[in-house]
Amino acid sequence: MLLDIGIDSMFVNASTPSPITSIQVVSPQQSAPVLSYSFAYPVTAGATPPAPNPSASPPIIFLAPSPPAFVNTGRNALAAANYFYDAGCGTVGFGSPAPSP
C-alpha cells in the first residue's frame, strides 16, 4: 500500500471486479487492521472522502493484476485516519480520527 498524498485518484493492482458495490481498504491485514475504511463503488458525484475524488478522471484506476496486490490510496485515505510518521525511526502509524462535535 502506498499512501500518496499527491494524487486524488486511487490505483488498484487488480482486475476490475464485477459485480462490485463497495471497496474496502484494510492494512496490514484483515484480522488485525491498523487502517480500515470503505466507500461505495462506483464513486458517485456526491462522494466524500475517504472515497477518491469523484471529479478525477477516473477516480479509481484498475491496473493489470500481478502479485503482490497493491493499492495507491491517493490523498483521501487521510480523511479516514490520522497519520503519524516518525522520520527518525522510519515508522508510520494510523489512528482513528476524533469524532465530530
Per-residue model confidence as pLDDT tens for the chain (101 residues): 888 888 888 998 877 777 889 989 888 888 888 888 899 998 988 888 889 988 887 888 888 877 777 889 988 888 888 888 899 998 888 887 655 55
User: pTM for this one?
Assistant: 0.77
Alpha carbons within 13 A on the beta-carbon side of 52: 27
Contacts of 40 (CB under 8 A, 6+ apart): 21, 22, 47, 51
